[in-house]
Amino acid sequence: MRLSAENGGKSLRAIGILYDVREENVAFLEFSRHFRRHGLPVPEIYGEELDAGAYLEQDLGDTTLFEFLSRHRSGTSVAAPAVEAYRKVVSLLPRFQVEAARDLNYKVCYPRASFDRQSIAWDLNYFKYYFLRLAGIPFNEQALEDDFNRLTKFLLIADRDYFLYRDFQSRNIMLCDGAPFFVDYQGGRKGALQYDIASLLYDAKADLPPELRQELLDLYLDRLADLIGSGSALNSSAPDSSAPNSKDRAETRATFMHHYYAYVYVRIMQALGAYGFRGFYERKTHFLQSVPYALRNIRWLLHNVELPVALPTLTEAFKAMVASEKLQGVTSAASKLTVRVSSFSFHRGLPADETGNGGGFIFDGRSLPNPGREERFKPLNGKDAPVIEYLEQQESARQFLANVIALIDSSVSSYQSRGFKDLMVSFGCTGGQHRSVYLAEQLAKHLCATNGVEVILHHRELEKQKK
């Protein structure tokens, strides 16, 4: 929950967390303070009460890297601001993995202190039973187990003396005033370097184009070489005192890449296991919207990468997944849906529906407290921070928006599964300046994080004022 307070005329904002798994809370709090001591951008912890499962952390806003990417791309074309945001993120990752790892207290890690054989087995079995089995992909149990054992043995050869963030993906990175901040690392543990960069670059929801993935991987490896120097296990043949030269960098890259794509595969399998559990098993079908993007990544890997370890049964399972009619149906269900979100004034009539579908949802925001009645808010609109803060403090506004989001999420899922292409959602209020604009902005921001959805946002009355 969001909390705010006034201190000497200055507004303070925090996120209040209530979570009853003490071990995860301890890990998150310990890691947060440790990373901040190393100057890394993570939320500040304002207070804690572990016995109550509660703590307060810095409010970093609402914009995740995924939402920012969604607003700065058109199909496979990613605009420069999003590319730059990703470059900042991959440049910082080695500092978590190497610099902060040197004196981290791994005793607080939960549920495992390292990404070991047991951790890998959990992920692979999750994939086998919740994705392969439930998706109807045929496999020989023993032959697949043999492949899993070969893959695990190969993964464990990689140097694993680094911090492994575990869930390093675009929704766990916030952008605050243009700078990246990192959250949700409570599952971190000791592990290999390759896993986290694979998690980010092959994040199914983000669907990064191959050329951009390679550009970001090259940048990551350059920053990694700058940081580890020649004394790392990756460059164990070079003297500790020397700075990394071109030979060191080449050795770092070659050693890293030898295991990299095996970690890409294991991360994709972990994600598919989660999608299968939530989508096939729990029947929460919106989780299956990420499956087509994961399959696209697997298809690319099958055509472009040859692993140094033979995995014949697993490879056949991957090929069967790509060709599966059942999973192709999931692909069709996740086709692009355009959601047009708008704000308007009831005094000037309802918005026109250019698609000819009749106008979609219309929500009346006039029941909410009206910021326009206060002088300080009259020159502002629902995109301005003081108005946003005012409305977020109103319980009625929070409940209204939560109900709207629940209804729209359900409709979006249904529309996608039925192959519909357009949905219109409009918010009206008295002047079309404060409440309706705020509601439209918040819904659009929420929908930008939904795979297969393109959001078009219009503020009718504000746009008229600009003409």
Give Cα separations from 203 to 195, 291, 298, 456 (angstroms).
12, 11, 12, 24
Which segments within 177-313 are labelled E, that is strand?
Answer: 179-182, 189-191
Instruction: Report the alpha-carbon distance of residue 295 to residue 288 in Å, rounded.
Output: 11
One-letter identity of residue 313: T
Same domain, 49 and 74: no
CATH number for the domain including 175? 3.90.1200.10
Same domain, 327 and 187: yes
pLDDT tens column, 346-356: 999 999 887 77
3-state secondary structure of 191: strand
Vertex 326, ends 322 and 331: CA angle to 5°?
Answer: 65
Same domain, 360 and 424: yes
The helix (run of H) or strand (run of E) holding residue 26 is helix 22-37
- Rounded (10°) CA dihedral 94, 232, 235, 239: 130
Cα-Cα-Cα-Cα dihedral sign, residues 65, 67, 71, 74? positive
Q: Given this model, what pLDDT does residue 9 score?
A: 64
Query: CB of 329 within 8 A of CB of 136?
Result: no
| Residue 127, φ and ψ in degrees, nearest 5 | -65, -45
Same domain, 294 and 237: yes
Among 12, 44, 59, where does a domain finish?
59
Same domain, 252 and 288: yes
Instruction: Please return the burial class of 314, using the count of CB atoms within 10 Å of its CB with bins 0-12, 13-18 and 19+.
Output: buried
DSSP string, 152-172: HHHHHHS---EEE-S--SGGG
| Residue 47, φ and ψ in degrees, nearest 5 | -175, 160
Neighbouring-strand partners of residue 66: none
Q: Given this model, what pLDDT does residue 318 score?
A: 98
Same domain, 402 and 440: yes
Residue with tokens 């605050």: 176
Same domain, 352 and 438: yes
The number of distinct structural domains making up the chain is 3
Structural domain that includes position 293: 63-333
**CA 456 to chain CA centroid, nearest Å:** 21
Vertex 224, ends 223 and 225: CA angle to 5°?
Answer: 90
Among 302, 333, 364, where does a domain finish?
333
Same domain, 34 and 87: no
Same domain, 194 and 168: yes
CATH number for the domain including 52? 3.30.200.20
Instruction: Report the alpha-carbon distance of residue 110 to residue 266 in Å, rounded.
Output: 20
Q: Given this model, what pLDDT does residue 70 score?
A: 87
Q: What is the CA radius of gyration of the chain?
A: 24
Instruction: Report the alpha-carbon distance of residue 278 to residue 119 in Å, rounded.
Output: 20
Same domain, 224 and 98: yes
One-letter identity of residue 62: D
DSSP string, 360-383: -EEEEGGGS--GGGSGGGTT--TT
Q: Given this model, what pLDDT does residue 330 score?
A: 67
Same domain, 317 and 424: no
DSSP string, 68-122: HHHHTEETTEE-HHHHHHHHHHHHHHHIIIIITTTT--GGG-SS-SB--HHHHHH
Regions in the chain scoring below 70 on pLDDT: 6-10, 229-244, 330-335, 417, 419, 467
Among 313, 333, 353, where does a domain finish?
333
Query: CB of 133 within 8 A of CB of 27?
Result: no
Same domain, 392 and 438: yes
- Rounded (10°) CA dihedral 398, 404, 406, 411: -170
pLDDT tens column, 215-253: 999 999 999 999 886 445 565 434 444 556 777 788 889
